[in-house]
Amino acid sequence: MRYPNPAVDAVVEARELVKNYGSVQAVDGISFHIAPRQCFGFLGPNGAGKTTTMRMLYGRVMRTGGALRVLELDPSTQSRAIRERIGVVPQTNNLDGDLSVVENLMVFAGFFGIGRREARERAERLLEFVQLQSRPQSRMWELSGGMQRRLLIARALLNDPELLILDEPTTGLDPQARLVVWQRLAELKQRGVTIILTTHYMEEASRLCDWLVIMDHGRIVEAGAPRPLIEKHAGTQVLELEWPVDAPAPDLPDRAVRRVEQVGDRLLLFTADPAGILSALASRVPTETALIRPATLEDVFIHLTGRDLQEE
């Protein structure tokens, strides 16, 4: 198979990328490229192929087919060279529980041949960056989940990476801890670090990502910048009504309703005139629990995949 020329200056270039596990096709011929200094996000339900794709980028999982270049290198044969230039924050915590916070960083720095004095300076600087400067001697069991995620980010930055890969970096964190992580990732993006992340949080994707791909069953079903994706698939506003499950939608007034969807016991009306629609329906439907809100990436995701992001 012949492929087009690679994207100019692409940090990552994937063409018809495939990964099979026996008879199961986890990634089914996807193509994308990631520009320098971009925050690039993968959205999809569990089992969509996001994590498998991420692991192929740094050689943790070998591709079955297609072409893949990361920092102009091939992960199949040059994974070690790639890992020297990237940082990875895995989905699961793999910090060493027998070591202190600073020892976790010092030991990891040794894998990159960083001298002890330089490693100590980098560790101190990064602990301040992730707001853990007061906890260098703490053990893992003394840290909250949010602190552990921030330490994973600090560890991933020890080698001053050109590319940072994060697999669900804020899953399970409380809102305050999540906000701290978002602020730090935004700062890294401003400094010119290219970021790739998977996430289950639509606000996270909207805040951080310049470009998104939505995956389902191993394929990319849509791609684009967050705001244009929302406008394309959901418009600008949504009227939510409490509505019996599986009951037919009410007869709607002769006004612009772009789409009607039912999610659980909520009826979603995508319209540019939600207040007008609500007023017209006031005598026929319960309006006391009605909600008018902006359209979101969650609306886009449900429309494209037919289910909530958290579903299997």
Model pLDDT for residues 209-223, shown as the tens digit of each residue: 999 999 999 999 999
pTM of the entire predicted model: 0.88
Mean pLDDT of 46-50: 90
The whole-number pLDDT of residue 177 equals: 86
* pLDDT surpasses 50 at 1: no
**For the chain, where do the domains classified as CATH 3.40.50.300 start and end?**
12-225
Residues forming CATH 3.30.70 domain(s) in the chain = 235-295
Alpha-carbon gap, residue 196 to 179, rounded angstroms: 18
Q: Which residues make beta-bridge pairs with 239?
A: 269, 292
CA distance 205 to 19: 25
Residue-wise pLDDT for 257-269, tens only, equals 888 888 888 889 9
Pairing of β 291-294 and β 219-224: unpaired
80-94, 125-139, 248-262: which range is least confident on average? 248-262
Taking the C-alpha atoms of residue 133 and residue 97, their distance in angstroms, rounded to an integer, is 18
Buried b (16+ CB within 10 A) or exposed e, 193-208: bbbbbbbbbbebbbeb
Asked if 23 and 37 count as a contact pair (C-beta separation under 8 A), the reply is no
Predicted pLDDT of residue 162: 95
Q: Hey, which CATH number is domain 12-225, 2.60.40.420, 3.40.50.300, 3.30.465.10, 3.40.50.2000?
A: 3.40.50.300
Residue 253 burial (CB count, 10 A): 13
The per-residue pLDDT for range 140-153, each reduced to its tens digit, is: 889 998 899 999 99
Instruction: Specify the range with the lowest mean pLDDT, choosing from 20-24, 73-77, 126-130, 282-286.
Output: 282-286
Identify whether the C-beta of residue 154 lies closer than 8 Å to the C-beta of residue 130: yes
CA 231 to mean position of chain CA atoms: 20
Identify the pLDDT of residue 311.
Answer: 43
In CATH terms, the fold of domain 235-295 is Alpha-Beta Plaits (3.30.70)
Say which residue, 84 or 302, is predicted with more confidence.
Answer: 84
Average pLDDT taken over every residue of the chain: 89
Q: Which two tokens stand for residue 184?
A: 């730090």
